[in-house]
Structure formats: C-alpha cells, structure tokens
Structure 1
Amino acid sequence: MSQSAPRRRAPRNSLSAELIVDRALALLDDKGIDAFSMRALAEELGVGTMALYTYFRGKEELFKAARDRVLSTYQPPSTSGSWDEQLRAVCLSMYELFTGRPSVLQLLAEGKAEGDFADAASVTMEQVVRLLCGSGLDRQAAARAAGTLIGFTIGSAMRHVRECHAEGGPAAQAELMRHRFAILSPERHPALIDLAPELTLAREDGEGQYTFGLGLILCGLRDLAAAAAPQS
C-alpha cells in the first residue's frame, strides 16, 4: 500500500497574519470561494487548522483582511488626455484589478466581506465622478453615467471570473454556446445562426468584449456632453 507524502509544515515561528492573508488570496484566486476552507488553507501552509485562529477569529475576519489588503494598495492610474480618455484608463484599471485578483471580486459579490466597493475604492469613485462632472454633462446625467460605468465594469469582471472558475473555463463555455447555436432552427433564428461564429469568439474574449462595450458607453457620453455644450 502506497503511503501519502508527509504534509509540508511551515518552519517554526514563520507563521504570520501577512503570510496567512497572502496564501488565502492565492487559494481564493485559484479555487474560488466555494472550495475555500480554513482546513484547506492550513494544509497549504503546512500548519494545524487551530494555528490560523491565533491570528483570525474565523473566515469572515480573514476574508475582510484579504479584501482590504488588495484594495488598500490599489491606486487609480494617473492619467492625462481628454476626460473620456482618462475615464477609459480608470475603468480599464478597475477591470484589470478585479480580473487579476478574482478573489476580491468574489468576496464583494458574495457578501463575504464587510463593506462595499464604494467604501473600499472611494478614490476611484471620486476620480470617475470628477471626470464626468467636468465633461459638460448635467448633474443627473453625470450621476447616471457613473453608475453605468461602475456597474458595467464590475459586472463584466464578475462574468469573466465566473467563467474562468466554471468547469472547463471560458473554452468550455464557448463550446456550450456553439452547441446551442447548432441546434437552433434556421427558420426561426437565421440571424443568430449566421453570426454564430463571431458571437462565440466574442464570448471567449472577455477583455475584448469589455473594452468594446466600454467604448460604446464612452461614445454615447461624448455625444451627450456635446449636445449639452452651449452653442456659440
């Protein structure tokens, strides 16, 4: 009978809150919230589960520390150019933050950490609102535009993260989409069947789909701002 390899244990006195948070983020990014447990984290660190409770009272406290670790070090980009060019850079940076550290997005989306995005990333919200208010839009349009940009960015990142953690990843989701198109009736859905290859490719390219949609939103905002500008 083969014996399993002995569990690798952390060197004596090497465990710390910082190390626990680092490994927790890596485990969450790799496996997702559903597969996370204090026991799995302890095995990853090579310590007993109870050792973790010396530093954190439970998963919720650890999740909050993990979220705060990432968001506290994030700074929106220092940008130049027109207001819409700067908005594009800020939104792309936010999208890349969440898709690069999917654990934080999952914690926020699942309500597994206290607080919300607006509180944790108020600097980003301030930058978005400031740029919109300086674009020429009226106050109501600027407020609605801020909600649209933030919602679209977080929603797009969330979809990307979910598909990456789904069985088979984005490629499997695209294959499922191909199958669904293949069984459609040509009489009832001729346009969908005709565009099926392009629709499937767009589904696979999460970042490309996001940047295209962001461009459409900014194009519409430019038109609104131009229409609101005083006529000379």
Structure 2
Amino acid sequence: MSQSVPRRRAPRNSLSAELIVDRALSLLDDKGMEAFSMRALAEELGVGTMALYTYFRGKEELFHAARDRVLSTYQPPCTSGRWDEQLRAVCLSMYELFTGQPSVLQLLAEGQAEGDFADAASVTMERVVELLRGSGLDRQAAARAAGTVIGFTIGSAMRQVRECGKEGQLTAKTELLRRRFAALSPERHPALTDLSPELTVAREDGPGQYTFGLDLILCGLRDLAAAGATAPQS
C-alpha cells in the first residue's frame, strides 16, 4: 500500500500576512467558501493552524483583509464617450472581476452578512450612480436603474461561477438541457423545440448572455432617459 507524501512545511520565518492572504484567495478560488477553514489553509501553507492566529485573530478578520486586498486594487474604468458607453464599460469590468476571481463574490457575500458590503462596493456604486444621474434620469429612475444593472451583473457572475466551478460541470448541464429539449413534444412546445439549438448555445455562453442582457438594459435606459427621465409607475 502506497503511503501519502507528507506536505512540505514552509521554511522557518517565511510566513507573512501577505502570504496568508494570497493563499487564502487561491484556496477560495479553487475550493469555495464551503471547503475553506483555517486548518485547510494551514495545510496548504505547510504550517500549524495556530501559526495563522499570529497574524489574524480568526477567519472573519482574514476574510476582511482578503476582501480589502482585492478591492483595493480594483478601480472602475473611467472611459470617454456617452454615459451609457461608460456605464457598459464599468459593468463589464465588474463582471470580469467577479468571474475571473470567484473568491471576490464569496468574500463580498460574507461581508454583506457582516454589514460592510456597502463600504466595500462604494467606489463602484458611486461611479454607477454618477453616470446614471448624468444621463438625465430622475432620482427614482436612477436609483432603480442602479439596482438593476448591479443586481444583473452580480447575479450573472454568480451563475457563471457556479456553473463553471468544476471541470466538466457546464458540459454536463448543457447535455442535460439538450436531452430535455429533445424530449419535448413539438406539438405541445413548437417554439421551444424549434429554437432549442440556439437556446442551448446561449446557455453555454455565459459572458455572451450577460453582454446581451446588459445591452438590452442599457437600451431601455436610453429610451427612458430620452422619453423624459421618469421611471414607469407600478
């Protein structure tokens, strides 16, 4: 019976807060929040668990430092052009940040539970609201529009991260969708069966689906601003 190779321990005095945060972000990206623990992180670093508490009092403090690390390096793009073109660039930048580093979404969700999500996201929120107010939308419409574009961006990124989190996971889900479409009756569902190839491709293309939806939202906002900048009444 083969024996497992013991994990090589980190060299003495090589541990630092920066290294711990870096490895925590990598572990969150690879394994997700559910599999994260201080013990698992210590194993990744090749140190005893108690060594981590020299730098961070607990997981919450470590998460806060990791969140600050990522967000401190991110700035929403300041591009030229019309307000909608600039807003599109900001939203695409957020989507790329979230999908490129899945740990960001997890850390923001954790921060929301602690009550500091608004502070962490304030720079991007400020830019989004600034652009919407500059579009000519009234206050109520601008507020609703901000919630719409940010919510759509976060939700789309979460879906993309969830479905592409494991190798082969998206392929399996796409194949399941294809089989479900194939099982439908053309008589009862003529529209679905006719468009099933395109629906399946759209399901696979998360970034393309997000961009298409974002452009639809921006198209509606442009029309709303041109029509008098008043949000539709419920």
Give TM-score, length-normalised by structure 1: 0.92
> Closer, same or farther in 2 for the Cα pair 1:205/1:33, shift >3 Å?
same
| CA apart distance, 1:224 | 0.9
> Closer, same or farther in 2 for the Cα pair 1:110/1:180, shift >3 Å?
farther
> Closer, same or farther in 2 for the Cα pair 1:56/1:43, shift >3 Å?
same
> Closer, same or farther in 2 for the Cα pair 1:113/1:8, shift >3 Å?
farther
Listed as ranges, the gaps of 5+ residues in structure 1 are: none
RMSD: 1.7
3-state secondary structure, aligned to 1:34? helix
3-state secondary structure, aligned to 2:20? helix
Q: Is the 8 Å Cα contact of residues 181 and 196 (structure 1) preserved in structure 2?
A: yes
Distance (whole Å) between structure 2 residues aligned to residue 38 and residue 108 of structure 1: 19
Asked if 1:47 is matched to 2:82, the reply is no
1:1-28: CA deviation from partner (whole Å, max 9, x where unpaired): 3222231111110101110010010011
> Closer, same or farther in 2 for the Cα pair 1:211/1:175, shift >3 Å?
same
Q: Is the 8 Å Cα contact of residues 60 and 112 (structure 1) preserved in structure 2?
A: no
State which drifts further: 102-111 or 147-156: 102-111
Q: Is the 8 Å Cα contact of residues 174 and 200 (structure 2) preserved in structure 1?
A: yes
Aligned-residue identity in percent: 87
Distance (whole Å) between structure 1 residues aligned to residue 148 and residue 116 of structure 2: 17
Distance (whole Å) between structure 1 residues aligned to residue 18 and residue 86 of structure 2: 34
**Equivalent position of 2:190 in the other structure:** 190
**Equivalent position of 2:207 in the other structure:** 207
**Equivalent position of 1:154 in the other structure:** 154
1:105-148: CA deviation from partner (whole Å, max 9, x where unpaired): 02333568634443212111111111111111111111111110
**Equivalent position of 2:232 in the other structure:** none
Listed as ranges, the gaps of 5+ residues in structure 2 are: 230-234
| CA apart distance, 1:167 | 6.8
| CA apart distance, 1:53 | 1.7
**Equivalent position of 2:98 in the other structure:** 98
Distance (whole Å) between structure 1 residues aligned to residue 53 and residue 193 of structure 2: 55
One-letter amino acid of the structure 2 residue matched with residue 56 of structure 1: F
Distance (whole Å) between structure 1 residues aligned to residue 109 and residue 184 of structure 2: 33
One-letter amino acid of the structure 1 residue matched with residue 120 of structure 2: A
> Closer, same or farther in 2 for the Cα pair 1:195/1:116, shift >3 Å?
farther
Distance (whole Å) between structure 2 residues aligned to residue 191 and residue 167 of structure 1: 32
One-letter amino acid of the structure 2 residue matched with residue 59 of structure 1: K
Runs in 1 of length 4+ with deviation above 4 angstroms?
A: 110-113
Count the aligned residue pairs: 229
Distance (whole Å) between structure 2 residues aligned to residue 2 and residue 171 of structure 1: 34
